[in-house]
Amino acid sequence: MVLYSQVKYWGENDSAHAAYSGEVGRLGFRVPEPYLDDRTSPEGTVRLKMLARGGALPLMDRIGRERGWPRASCACLMCATGQVDDIAHVLEDCPAYADEREELRARIEHVAERQGMSASGAERFRELGRAERVLVVLGKRLGDAKVEAAVDLSVKMYLGKVWRKRGCVRVALNGLLHRSDS
């Protein structure tokens, strides 16, 4: 939940970010976020982004927390780095998703360039610190609604590719631990 509170926009909604005129000037907690009302994204990707933002993706970190395992025993099963399998690892570090991650970063930078924007965080995405990049990927506002919408779509596509790539691990974990949440 801590991650979500850093990503969610809590201030007053402006006209560029409002879907309807009644949303202008309303506080962020009273306005649905655009990614939740997206009918054009690939199937299932809105759900993946929502789970990622809320810390609810069934990654080893979450599974370990639920089962009371020590955090050190929640290593990523997709790579041999020994790092904990959490959302930051999936978005930033896991070598299993290096190609997909590079494509995501290139898309984010391309969007910022194409819009001729200085949307803070987008055009200098690679230069941001790891924690800030994670927040931007999960939907922290950049200052330009068009750039944010394009970043959102790119992130959803990334999460969809990652989730398909994790298929064998997801199925094995669900069978082994008698789960059905992937």
pLDDT per residue as tens digits for the range 51-94: 998 888 999 999 999 999 999 999 999 998 999 999 999 999 99
Range of the domain at 171: 2-177
In a domain, 163, yes or no: yes
Half-sphere exposure for 31 (CA within 13 Å, toward CB): 23
Q: What is the pLDDT of residue 4?
A: 79
| Residue found by looking up tokens 């999960």 in the block | 138
Q: How many domains are there within the chain?
A: 1
Contact present, 139 and 53 (Cβ < 8 Å): yes
In a domain, 162, yes or no: yes
Q: What is the pLDDT of residue 154?
A: 92
Residues contacting residue 72 through CB under 8 Å, at least 6 positions apart: 84
In a domain, 182, yes or no: no
Helical spans, DSSP H, in the chain: 2-7, 45-53, 60-67, 87-88, 98-114, 130-137, 145-165, 167-177
Task: Give the global pTM.
Answer: 0.83
In a domain, 118, yes or no: yes
In a domain, 93, yes or no: yes
Q: Which residues of the chain have pLDDT under 70?
A: 1-2, 37, 115-124, 181-182
Rounded to the nearest angstrom, the gap between the alpha carbon of residue 124 and the centroid of all alpha carbons in its chain is 18
In a domain, 152, yes or no: yes
Q: How many CB atoms lie within 10 A of CB 11?
A: 8
Q: What is the pLDDT of residue 144?
A: 79
